[in-house]
Structure 1
Amino acid sequence: MPTFTAPDGTQLAYHVLGEGEPLLCLPGGPMRACAYLGDLGGLSRHRRLIKLDLRGTGDSAIPADPATYRCDRQVGDVEALRAHLGLERVDVLTHSAGGDLALLYAAGYPRRIRSLTLVTGRARALGVDFTEEHRREAAALRKAEPWYDAAHAAYERVWAGSASDADWDAITPFFYGRWDANAEAHAATDVEQTNQEAADRYAAPGAFHPAEARAAVAAWDARVLLLAGALDSGPLPRVAAAIAELFPRAELTVQPDAGHFPWLDDPRGFSETVAAFLDRGK
């Protein structure tokens, strides 16, 4: 397992899978170990995946200062990894809350990114967030599912602020396009793979300055792919489309019947879509 040193001296780990052109992968969660990304639906057959364990997660060390879990404080970690790999410019793929880290990296180091793939990515860094109304809209699409009634009742308690741990577990099927044994196994690793203290600090006050970030990406010439799940609430496809409009060179793909982890719902479709986007930039 290779490691490198972050600017503050923290030892960080990354995992390499596959062959070919490198693709730097930043996990979401927030602050979930990169293991949950797996091989991204077989994308490792097309690209050499370099999956970063963010500080305090997976095989990376816990930093001396927990304040460095804040999203903007981790931008230097991404740049240190790029330098460690000896890459002049990198293709970056990120998932979910990792979208904020990738966007801040793009704003701070625009010449270092060749392309950016946002997989069901957050964009709080650009002033876009997901709301209860978005969650309700996506949840309504799942009314025919056998688990819907119990999961929706739990969702209501979440929105009311009275949820138990069991309620949080009960809403998990909403985040997968197909709630089967594979999805259940994937979801079961969430707690053990997530650094909850770090997750709580990730979006702490001061992490994001949307006006500055928007101005930076508006002048950016890199290619951007936003891949949304048709059944996902974060972001809804129409919200992902609005995010795409903030970039000069962005395209949107909505994967049918997919939730928040689209590489699980249709591995081949996901990997071929992303690989085709990356190949167009060669």
Structure 2
Amino acid sequence: MARYQSYDGTPLAYRTLGPAVDHPAAPTLVCLAGGPGRDAAYLEDLGGLDRELPLVLPDLRGTGESVAATDPAGYSFPRLAEDVEALREHLGLERFALLGHSAGAVVAQAYAARHPGRLSHLVLVTPGTRLQDRPTTDAQEIFHSRPGEPWYPEAVAALERLADAHELAEIKRLLTRVAPGTYGHWGERQRAHAAAEVSQLHPVPRAAFWQGVDEAVRRGVTDALGALAAPVLVVTGDRDGASGVAAGAVVAGQFPNGHHMTLAGCGHYPWVDEPEDFRRTVTGFLLAGRPGAA
């Protein structure tokens, strides 16, 4: 685990995987965790992306090995985007590729809006549409399309209670029960990945992620994305009972060079469900210009 100082002097942590960050044949890929407020450890190596790409995985402020913010406003996604800019400066990168998963895709979009010239590529994995303020409903349909699976009755009951839960301990317990509906399959690999979430979520970073974000801030981000020159890939999973597939089309549609690809048999964590398909899709986009072409 390495460290850098952010814009306000706060020491933040990151780890690197794969080739050196200045590798001449592949763009450095900075990978942002979601949650919000979840340790980056759950991203693992993103299905083996480190075989061909230099990966940088920061623990966002208040998660993992990074210290807590002195002001909760430091956890808001526009401020987290400035932590990413400080990381770029620390790494000495003129341009780089940026990947954001779930809530991390919001931070990635905020970064793209503020620092568009720094990005060679943008990859958004299973994003939602709260930033765009365009709700989609197919995630619920996907979740409820699997009533024959043994986990389904308990998961449905937990999902109904989750909307009214406020205590983090209760939220974590319910998320564990809901988890099967957010993966493409519910095998040993998925169970182990889901079980880690309980210890990886942090309450204040999670609660403050949208703090201070009003309509003007949100529109400022989304309006700026319409001029982003970098190519954008939005990846969704056809079994994602958390974000769904329609959200990917909404998010991709705001970019002039946006592409949306849905992976079969994948849920909210496609590198867990179908790692080779995910790896091939992302490396194909970053190295060959076409998803899945590597």
Q: TM-score, normalised by structure 2?
A: 0.89
* Residue among 264, 271, 280 paired with 1:272: 280
The residue aligned with 1:10 is 10
Inter-CA distance 64–157: structure 2 relative to 1 (3 Å threshold): closer
Following the alignment from structure 2 to structure 1, what is the Cα–Cα distance between the partners of residues 174 and 108?
31
State the Cα deviation string for residues 70-99 of structure 1 (Å, max 9, x = none): 111112100010111111111001100001
Please report the RMSD computed on the Cα atoms of aligned residues, expressed in angstroms.
2.0
Q: Which residue type is aligned with residue 89 of structure 1? A: R
More helix by share: 1
2:184 aligned with 1:180: no
Q: Which residue type is aligned with residue 181 of structure 2? A: F
CA contact (8 A) 1:126 1:213 kept: no
Q: Which residue type is aligned with residue 259 of structure 1? A: G
SS at match of 2:144: helix
CA contact (8 A) 2:76 2:210 kept: yes
Following the alignment from structure 1 to structure 2, what is the Cα–Cα distance between the partners of residues 30 and 119?
14
State the Cα deviation string for residues 88-129 of structure 1 (Å, max 9, x = none): 111001100001100011001111111100011234333344
Point out where structure 2 has 5 or more consecutive residues left out of the alignment: none
Following the alignment from structure 1 to structure 2, what is the Cα–Cα distance between the partners of residues 238 and 123?
9
The residue aligned with 2:240 is 232
2:85 aligned with 1:79: yes
Q: Return the offset for 1:207.
A: 6.1
Following the alignment from structure 1 to structure 2, what is the Cα–Cα distance between the partners of residues 123 and 11?
31
Following the alignment from structure 2 to structure 1, what is the Cα–Cα distance between the partners of residues 174 and 40?
25
Q: Return the offset for 1:170.
A: 1.4
The residue aligned with 1:47 is 53
SS at match of 2:84: helix
Following the alignment from structure 1 to structure 2, what is the Cα–Cα distance between the partners of residues 47 and 75?
22
Following the alignment from structure 1 to structure 2, what is the Cα–Cα distance between the partners of residues 138 and 211?
29
Inter-CA distance 124–153: structure 2 relative to 1 (3 Å threshold): closer
Following the alignment from structure 1 to structure 2, what is the Cα–Cα distance between the partners of residues 187 and 62?
24
Percent identity of equivalent pairs: 39
Q: Return the offset for 1:150.
A: 2.0
The residue aligned with 1:93 is 99
Point out where structure 1 has 5 or more consecutive residues left out of the alignment: none
* Residue among 103, 108, 126 paired with 2:109: 103
Following the alignment from structure 1 to structure 2, what is the Cα–Cα distance between the partners of residues 99 and 126?
12
Following the alignment from structure 1 to structure 2, what is the Cα–Cα distance between the partners of residues 167 and 234?
14
Q: Return the offset for 1:280.
A: 2.6
CA contact (8 A) 1:70 1:207 kept: no
Q: Which residue type is aligned with residue 203 of structure 2? A: Q
State the Cα deviation string for residues 178-218 of structure 1 (Å, max 9, x = none): 11111111111112112111101111242662322222111
Equivalent residue runs for 1:92-241 within 5 Å: 92-129=98-135, 133-159=137-163, 166-206=173-213, 209-241=217-249
Q: Which residue type is aligned with residue 193 of structure 2? A: H
Following the alignment from structure 2 to structure 1, what is the Cα–Cα distance between the partners of residues 154 and 116?
45
Following the alignment from structure 1 to structure 2, what is the Cα–Cα distance between the partners of residues 110 and 123?
20
Q: TM-score, normalised by structure 1?
A: 0.92
- Size of the aligned set, in residue pairs, is 280
CA contact (8 A) 2:143 2:182 kept: no
SS at match of 2:208: helix
